[in-house]
Amino acid sequence: EAARRKVAGYINAEYNHEVIFTRGTTESVNLVAYTFGEKFVRPGDEVIVSQLEHHSNFVPWQQMCLRRGATLRLLPFDEHGELDLLLFDSLLNEKTRLVAVNHVSNSLGTVNPVGEIIRLAHAHDVPVLVDAAQSVQHLEHDVRSLDTDFYVFSGHKMYGPMGIGVFYGKEKWLEVLPPFMSGGEMIDTVTPEKVTFNVLPFKFEAGTPNVAEAIGLGAASDYLQQFDQAELQKYEEDLLAYGLTLLAEIPDLVIYGSPKHRSSILPFNVSGIQHYDMGVLLDSMGIAVRTGQHCTQPIMDALRISGTVRASLALYNDRADLEKLASGVRRVIKMLKR
Ligand code: PLP
């Protein structure tokens, strides 16, 4: 419970019991898709997701819509890799039941205007789920000032353990949503005929909890809270701008997306070189990047590419890392294009 208090403090939740421990973002999204879907989504209803989503904030909504006879509405990204708020507003209507969007795209690094999205959705009485997996460790993470209904993230993205994450929901939603899984812990009384459910947060935490990992996530929250958020953000933004400049100087290198506000992600390819080959060779030089679709096939399909090379920056990176990345990429180009 001390870990729960730390995490609740980190995201500035109004009540500690609004923080539910899950296995991660994926389970948190599924929790909302199942419980909200069962309670509030009827045939003909609509759910809006963006084209910038990680599969884990896309497939659960698609599957829920199929189960409930609802329609999934896709908010596309533009040539800069950004979402269009006017288009978003035009998708909202009396059939819209929920909006799910990430704060930062894990493939392009686009910082989405989630505050505006929430404001527009709330004007139609539509709740919003923010996937904060790629933002909670980099950007502002205040659920109250954001006024988000649901907020989900993973421990391993905030320098904590794997296999633990958070589902935050406003108390008013947690009171009305049915339990996701049932069994021990989430009950109050059980008879052969009837069960009454435990209070929050336990109503959503069936079974023996993952205590060690929750404590680890609490420690990660403490660790991150030692930094001044504005300073941290400024440091990471400068680093990203430096990395973008270094990469842009490399001939035949394409950087994907040109959003006005980007966070932490450097997505690129070099023409004529497979992203996978680039990744393996950079790895052999001690430079860790990820290659492929990054669990975002709809983005790759829209860009008509099979994948990208992606360098992800964090607070422990510095300018020397980026110089090493740029010279590593130049070296790979020499090796493969000779
Ligand atoms: N959403 C985003 C934006 C992510 O970057 C990730 C992880 O890569 C996820 C969701 C899924 O997180 P997890 O696999 O921890 O459930």
DSSP code per residue over 215-277:
HHHHHHHHHHHTS-HHHHHHHHHHHHHHHHHHHHTSTTEEE----SSB-SEEEEEETTB-HHH
Q: Is 57 in the pocket of ligand 1 (CB under 6 A)?
A: yes
Over residues 180-209, the pLDDT tens digits come to 999 999 999 999 999 999 999 999 999 999
Asked if 52 and 105 touch (Cβ cutoff 8 Å), the reply is: yes
Parallel, antiparallel or unpaired: strands 290-292 and 308-312? antiparallel
Residue by residue, DSSP assigns 135-201 as: TTTTS---HHHHT-SEEEEEGGGGTS-TT-EEEEE-HHHHHHSPPSS-SSSSEEEE-SS-EEEPPTT
Q: What spacing in Å lies between the alpha carbon of 159 and ligand 1's midpoint? A: 14
What the block records as the tokens of 4 is 């729960």
Q: Considering only CA atoms, which of 60, 48, 151 is closest in space to residue 96? A: 48
Residue among 295, 300, 302, 305 flagged as catalytic: 295
pLDDT of residue 236: 97
Q: What spacing in Å lies between the alpha carbon of 26 and ligand 1's midpoint? A: 7
Q: What spacing in Å lies between the alpha carbon of 326 and ligand 1's midpoint? A: 27
Asked if 59 and 65 touch (Cβ cutoff 8 Å), the reply is: no
Pocket test for ligand 1, best of 30, 32, 52, 54 (most atoms within 8 A of CB): 54
pTM, 2 dp: 0.98
Asked if 38 and 282 touch (Cβ cutoff 8 Å), the reply is: no
Q: Considering only CA atoms, which of 168, 165, 169 is closest in space to residue 154? A: 165
Q: How far apart are CA 154 and CA 50, in angstroms?
A: 20
Q: Is 22 in the pocket of ligand 1 (CB under 6 A)?
A: no
Q: Is 26 in the pocket of ligand 1 (CB under 6 A)?
A: yes
Q: How far apart are CA 74 and CA 109, in angstroms?
A: 19
Q: Which atom of ligand 1 is nearest to the CA of 25?
A: 16
pLDDT of residue 338: 64
Q: Which atom of ligand 1 is nearest to the CA of 28?
A: 16
Q: Is 54 in the pocket of ligand 1 (CB under 6 A)?
A: yes
Q: What spacing in Å lies between the alpha carbon of 132 and ligand 1's midpoint? A: 9
Q: What spacing in Å lies between the alpha carbon of 102 and ligand 1's midpoint? A: 10
Asked if 103 and 73 touch (Cβ cutoff 8 Å), the reply is: no
Q: Is 110 in the pocket of ligand 1 (CB under 6 A)?
A: no
Q: Considering only CA atoms, which of 304, 302, 280 is closest in space to residue 291? A: 280
pLDDT of residue 267: 98
Q: Is 263 in the pocket of ligand 1 (CB under 6 A)?
A: no
Collapse the DSSP code of 304 into the 3-class scheme (helix H, G, I; strand E, B; otherwise coil) and give the result.
coil
**295 assigned to active site:** yes
Return all residues near 48 (Cβ < 8 A) that are at least 6 apart.
73, 74, 75, 88, 91, 92, 96, 98, 99, 100
Over residues 17-54, the pLDDT tens digits come to 999 999 999 999 999 999 999 999 999 999 999 999 99
pLDDT of residue 337: 83
Instruction: List, for the chain, all residue ranges whose pLDDT scores fall below the cut of 50.
Output: none
The residue whose C-alpha atom lies closest to atom 6 belonging to ligand 1 is 133
Rounded to the nearest angstrom, the gap between the alpha carbon of residue 37 and the centroid of all alpha carbons in its chain is 20
